[in-house]
């Protein structure tokens, strides 16, 4: 298998960013890390570690803050903890899981590599970096342990995988659209403008982007519920609302599928 990898470096308003991508045939996956005020938000994947090491060598950070446990966000944690003796903080729900050898499907290991065990501490509901205070906002939906980080001085919001794309078309089997809706509503009660998403990157008008996504998901949920009341099955609703087929669905053997959007709305 030929996997193409590349990285892009950028900086916006004091936030240094690295974006790494992995492509195999028609499937393209990417992930960002963010360095700001002495902290590193997420660590990228084990498969991109070679490409990310020059960025890590130049960074000046005191600690690592993880948005959630997925291997594309935590895959570099073992190396960074061993090489730089950095403390790692995350939601307590999956701390014990991250102490053990990771278990996830083969296609994810091919794209993101094998996440090695690491030691993390519970993040709490706030923390301080070198010059500012941060709010930790629990935002489950993509995963149960998902959090967002709000820089209370600058209004910069780091959303992990809460946003990703304006119009969600496929999700992981474990995701919950109703939970994502509640998490979007929750973060929108805070004062912020810019958003830094671990897949979409820097979003200047972040509040507007999250509001549009919230509106889309609410409308989509309403359509799904109405179609269900009319007697349509999950398969029939999926076929009507999501006619386009995405390569990730076949590659993942259905772990990523539009049908999970429908079933999560109906099983809320």
The per-residue pLDDT for range 222-249, each reduced to its tens digit, is: 999 999 999 999 999 999 999 999 999 9
Tell me the pLDDT of the chain averaged across its residues: 97
State what percent of residues in the chain have pLDDT above 70. 100
Q: Is pLDDT of 1 > 70?
A: no
Position with higher pLDDT, 146 vs 3: 146
Q: Using one digit for the tens of pLDDT, what is the confidence trace for 62-89?
A: 999 999 999 999 999 999 999 999 999 9
**Residue 2: band (very low, low, confident or very high) from pLDDT cuts 50, 70, 90:** confident
Angle at 121 between CA 154 and CA 158, to 5 degrees: 25
Q: Which fold has domain 4-267?
A: Metallo-beta-lactamase; Chain A (3.60.15)
Task: Give the residue-averaged pLDDT of 165-177.
Answer: 97
pLDDT digits (tens, 9 = 90+) for 87-128: 999 999 999 999 999 999 999 999 999 999 999 999 999 999
């Amino acid at each position: 298998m030929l996997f193409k990898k590349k990285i892009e470096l950028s900086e916006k308003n004091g936030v240094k960013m690295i974006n790494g991508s992995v492509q195999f045939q028609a499937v393209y996956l990417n992930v960002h890390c963010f360095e700001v005020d002495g902290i590193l938000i997420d660590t990228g994947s084990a498969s991109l570690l070679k490409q990310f090491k020059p960025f890590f060598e130049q960074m000046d950070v005191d600690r690592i803050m993880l948005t959630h446990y997925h291997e594309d966000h935590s895959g570099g944690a073992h190396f960074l903890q061993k090489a730089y003796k950095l403390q790692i903080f995350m939601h307590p729900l999956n701390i014990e899981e991250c102490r053990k050898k990771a278990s996830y499907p083969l296609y994810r290991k091919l794209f993101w590599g094998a996440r090695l065990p690491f030691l993390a501490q519970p993040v709490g509901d706030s923390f301080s970096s070198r010059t500012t205070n941060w709010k930790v906002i629990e935002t489950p939906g993509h995963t149960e342990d998902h959090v967002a980080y709000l820089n209370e001085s600058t209004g910069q919001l780091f959303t992990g995988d809460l946003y990703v794309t304006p119009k969600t078309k496929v999700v992981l089997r474990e995701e919950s659209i109703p939970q994502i809706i509640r998490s979007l509503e929750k973060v929108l009660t805070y004062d912020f403008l810019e958003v830094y998403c671990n897949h979409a990157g820097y979003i200047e008008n972040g509040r507007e982007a999250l509001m549009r996504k919230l509106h889309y998901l609410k409308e989509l949920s309403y359509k799904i519920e109405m179609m269900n009341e009319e007697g349509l099955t999950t398969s029939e609703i999926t076929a009507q609302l999501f006619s386009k087929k995405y390569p990730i669905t076949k590659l993942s053997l259905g772990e990523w599928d539009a049908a999970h959007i429908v079933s999560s709305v109906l099983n809320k």
